[in-house]
Amino acid sequence: MTLQFSVLASGSSGNAFYVGTDNVKLLVDAGLSGKKIKEQLAQINVCPTDLDGILVTHEHSDHIKGLGVMARRYQLPVYANEKTRKAIDTSSVGEIITDQKFSFDMESVKTLADLDVESFGVSHDAADPMFYIFHYEGKKVAMLTDTGYVSERMKKKIENADAILFEANHDVGMLQMGRYPWNVKRRILSDLGHVSNEDAAIAMMDVIGDQTKSIYLGHLSQDNNMIDIARMSVEQYLKQHDIGVGDKLHIKDTSPTKATPIDYI
């Protein structure tokens, strides 16, 4: 009886996350093509026909690119809050029939089979962006990417989770020196953009608890970050503040193209 999950893909090019128990299997976001999502799921031996639904965080294309295809092909229920559902309807993912669309309100808990799923709001330039926490027999897995900053409220939600997918989008120096136009840089750095490596590490200080075993660094920018830089920034900061990384707490990589091995909590 375990809670299982894998970061199927994470990064500006597309995001998808798998979480399941013996009784329910869910996809969170479908930001890759239907074909790619199927391939990523195959890497962890899950067949799309085993899925029971798709939870959506927000309507940016790196989170919903394959949503229409997955929903139609495998007749999967799609859960999202009202504003996000409306935004999806006007996006290019194609029609998802009304019978397959379900509401998942912001700041609410929905029980799907034996899994309690909690939603919470983030600060990002989308219609009504929210992320999810999964509770199962006292265990907790949390996701937090696509937010301009990590508020005290968000920290409270995800604190002491057994595993957390945590945004480490960019290295501020690389972003500032990089080739992006200034308005894009300003958007990324704003309160409605993405969390930097440095800010992720600072926020983690308040979030890591006795129960926390794994932090997955997610949503890395292809242009403004590198996995070694993200990992080093975070590990160094935590070590400087007496949070040991290695024996009990592991900082783990994610990839835009390779699913992380299933983590059993």
- Shorter beta-carbon distance to Zn ion: residue 111 or 222: 222
- Shorter beta-carbon distance to Zn ion: residue 112 or 165: 165
Minimum CB distance to Zn ion, residue 61 (Å): 9
Minimum CB distance to Zn ion, residue 27 (Å): 15
Minimum CB distance to Zn ion, residue 126 (Å): 6
- Shorter beta-carbon distance to Zn ion: residue 64 or 70: 64
Could you please report the per-residue DSSP string of the chain? ---EEEEEE-STT--EEEEE-SS-EEEE---S-HHHHHHHHHHTT--GGG--EEE-S---HHHHTTHHHHHHHHT--EEE-HHHHHHHHTSSS----GGGEEE--TT-EEEETTEEEEEEE---SSSS-EEEEEEETTEEEEEE-S-SS--HHHHHHHTT-SEEEEE--B-HHHHHHSSS-HHHHHHHHSTTS--BHHHHHHHHHHH--TT--EEEEE---TTT--HHHHHHHHHHHHHHTT---SSS-EEE---SSSPPPPEE-
- Shorter beta-carbon distance to Zn ion: residue 180 or 237: 180
Minimum CB distance to Zn ion, residue 99 (Å): 27
Which of 16, 57, 32 has the alpha carbon at shortest distance from 218? 16
Half-sphere exposure of 56 (CA within 13 A, CB side): 36
Minimum CB distance to Zn ion, residue 32 (Å): 12
Instruction: Classify the C-alpha dihedral 131-178-9-260 as positive or negative.
Output: negative
Minimum CB distance to Zn ion, residue 56 (Å): 11
Interacting residue ranges for Zn ion, rule: CB under 5 A: 60, 62, 146
What residue number has its CB nearest to Zn ion?
A: 60
Distance CA 211, CA 193 (A): 29
- Shorter beta-carbon distance to Zn ion: residue 162 or 199: 199
Minimum CB distance to Zn ion, residue 145 (Å): 6
- Shorter beta-carbon distance to Zn ion: residue 131 or 136: 131
- Shorter beta-carbon distance to Zn ion: residue 34 or 218: 218
Minimum CB distance to Zn ion, residue 8 (Å): 14
- Shorter beta-carbon distance to Zn ion: residue 62 or 171: 62
